[in-house]
Structure 1
């Protein structure tokens, strides 16, 4: 568990505050589960976007965006990533509480990740949304060039987002070495993801899904920690028995 490893003994009169402190990690943990799941779903959808690196990229992109099903997919992808980013911010608050004096680095890194994730969600899918909702923006070679530019911008934003995630994970790893508020296996797994994230364009196709898996694992730990804290507080502060009727 995260916070129960080095917890000081709690007096019965302190049980209620501890219960509240532990219980507030429950909903951030649930938000993290949702964020991690949405990030994985978004990554899977992102793999279906057209390749923009080859010589035939202009034709490939144009034909891809002409299909209404692909336009629907892009719109869904944008909504999924936007929701994942907002849920991740809720999860980030609980992570920063565990980082002690490095909480500011966790918040900065996580906020940078979220900001660039939202940029990627909008830049990578705004072309399809515009084509779908506008009658004066056709898919032709000239506009397909804009789509290629926007897709490359989205990939660049993902690279920047993972740099922010690396800062967050490095800070959590250092906090785990000092306070043991985070399980060792979770902090070392985060360090691996952080190192890989610094490889930039050579690893950005893989590191988002690794980060999503890490978020899922951290969310499970947060939820278990909150439930355990609630049980411990309840055991320290049992409910009084109802008064017995007089005979």
Structure 2
């Protein structure tokens, strides 16, 4: 009497698509939190528009603590951008036939976010690690230029985010793939992002909150899919 165990290899049971949203959802949750924290730190820069801009810049960057905060902001935003790309792929799958708009808008946002984080902090990082570049009235002009470029990059990044958010809003209206509340939340953030020259100091924080909310939706979808799939099929046995 011989017994045989017949089982199907795991490779022949591909994981359902919703399962793939679990880790991207977790990545998005972390990315949203880092985006909020990094942007708040980045916005702690001195006023560069007033008469005392040079004095403010010199006083601000002369403090080692402010230099360290700028370095921390750069790291947080860079990591947020990398994790956001992972989240973006899952979000584009949710968007269906509007996935190209989500990908384009999200990619533009990510690239310009990285540009903003680098240009907005490179002066502080350089003066903190270099013996050549010193904080003073002569170098304050360079710091002001870099800060302004960083803010312009943030404005442009939020225009890219608006494309993504409007696309998700349309998906929420046309199908049940995205909850309606998430679509309208994104719509409000997208409209505010179009006023970026006046609101770019706040809209990245709102976008971070939206990313975290969308990530929770992805995670919940993945959990529901796992629950509905049920336990693994039992191993079939036979005798001969």
Output the TM-score relative to the length of structure 2. 0.90
Q: Where does structure 1 lack aligned partners over 5 or more consecutive residues?
A: 1-15
In 1, the alpha carbon distance for the partners of 2:95 and 2:26 equals 19
In 2, the alpha carbon distance for the partners of 1:147 and 1:102 equals 40
RMSD (Å), alpha carbons: 1.6
Please tell me whether residue 240 in structure 1 is matched to residue 230 in structure 2: no
Please tell me whether residue 56 in structure 1 is matched to residue 52 in structure 2: yes
- 2:99 counterpart residue number: 103
Please tell me whether residue 65 in structure 1 is matched to residue 61 in structure 2: yes
Moved over 3 A (4+): none
Show the 5 A alignment for 1:47-196: 47-196=43-192
In 1, the alpha carbon distance for the partners of 2:235 and 2:100 equals 45
In 1, the alpha carbon distance for the partners of 2:49 and 2:146 equals 13
Pick one of 195, 205, 215 that aligns with 1:199. 195
Give the total of aligned pairs: 226
Report how far residue 72 of structure 1 moved: 0.9
In 1, the alpha carbon distance for the partners of 2:43 and 2:139 equals 22
Per-residue deviation, residues 43-79 of structure 1 (Å, max 9, x unmatched):
2212321111211110110111111111111111101
- 1:21 counterpart residue number: 17
Output the TM-score relative to the length of structure 1. 0.88
Report how far residue 100 of structure 1 moved: 1.0
Is the 2:28–2:84 Cα contact (8 Å) retained in structure 1? yes
Please tell me whether residue 214 in structure 1 is matched to residue 210 in structure 2: yes
Report how far residue 241 of structure 1 moved: 7.6
- 1:38 counterpart residue number: 34
